[in-house]
Amino acid sequence: MRATRCLWPRGSAHTFSIEAGCTLPNGLREVTCMLALTAVHPTWKSPLSETPRLLPDVLPSAMVMQSDRRQMYELLETYFESTSFRQFELDLSEKDTVILLRDPEDARVVGFSTLMKLSITVEKRRVAGFFSGDTIVARERWGSSLLGRLWLRTVFSEAERIQTQSPGTLLYWFLICSGYKTWRYLPIFFRDYWPHPELTASAFDRQVLHALATRKFGDEYHPNPGIVRFRRANPLRPGVADVTQERLRDPMVRFFLRMNPGHRDGDELACLAPLSRSNLTAAGLRLLEAGAGR
């Protein structure tokens, strides 16, 4: 959520835009849920149907209307502490693409996610990192998978375009997580990701993670233990992703807490996953291949 200076011990970096501007008039129908990306950053469930169905919209950040920006900020403020509209606007201005979910009755924004791409070079290899910014779904829509499906479709479409234009470019999803619900996207969508409770990242992938995190967050990123600690943090509000005794029975939740013990204070765990169809889980593939189907 911060725009910070670039620090590059090796390689070069720049940002470049994600092609956007598609509106899907028929909407995408829910099957599981993108962890209701809030959680806020959201949460996962598997409803058989969704009523009423949400209306999706994908567009460049510069084309987001002021009224929509206000509604996006209201969602952000509902789930995160210590926010400001000015900071929200600054964060949004650096993003390439915005995914919106609208209520079909009044077109009100009830969910959104922001995306930007970072282009870097690590050990003379071209790397493109897709960074997920603010991502929120209103509590009453936490059972929806639409945002997850649309996110996968948007990112993989752009990833395929990059590989066509620049063969050999390595592609990654780069995200930061202050709550366990966001982190659980990784094992739901991907086979390999880091940090992982059983797998160790290669030396190269560790370099990629550190390079992307340093590029994006400067000295607010701490390589050991891989945490982004903002000078002005925005912790989740109580009740959004509380760690209950029931949740603690989940080994994946316990792993996240081990890796990010300062999550209550707004510490963010830096995470990475290779972007390829072969690295998707069965659930991730189903969500991607569902496309715009009803």
Query: Residue 277 belongs to what domain range?
Result: 13-287
In a domain, 8, yes or no: no
- What is the model's pLDDT at position 236? 75
In a domain, 58, yes or no: yes
- What is the model's pLDDT at position 105? 93
In a domain, 278, yes or no: yes
In a domain, 195, yes or no: yes
Q: Scanning the structure block, which residue is given the tokens 């949004």?
A: 92
CA end-to-end distance (rounded Å), the chain: 33
* Residues with pLDDT less than 50, the chain: 1-51, 292-294
Distance CA 72, CA 134 (A): 10
In a domain, 114, yes or no: yes
Distance CA 256, CA 247 (A): 11
In a domain, 2, yes or no: no
Length of the chain: 294
Which contiguous run of DSSP H or E holds residue 43?
strand 41-43
What phi and psi values does residue 202 have, to the nearest 5 degrees? Answer: -70, 165
In a domain, 142, yes or no: yes
Q: Residue 91: give its domain's CATH number.
A: 3.40.630.30
- What is the model's pLDDT at position 170? 98
How distant, in Å, are the alpha carbons of 43, 89, 126, 175, 214 from that of 3? 26, 11, 23, 15, 11
Q: Cα 122 vs. chain centroid, distance in angstroms?
A: 22
How distant, in Å, are the alpha carbons of 126, 135, 169, 275 from that of 166? 9, 29, 6, 15
CB 142 within 8 A of CB 33: yes
Beta bridge mates, 249: none
Distance CA 164, CA 32 (A): 30
Number of domains the chain contains: 1
Strands (E), 50-168: 55-60, 97-102, 109-122, 125-137
In a domain, 101, yes or no: yes
pTM: 0.81
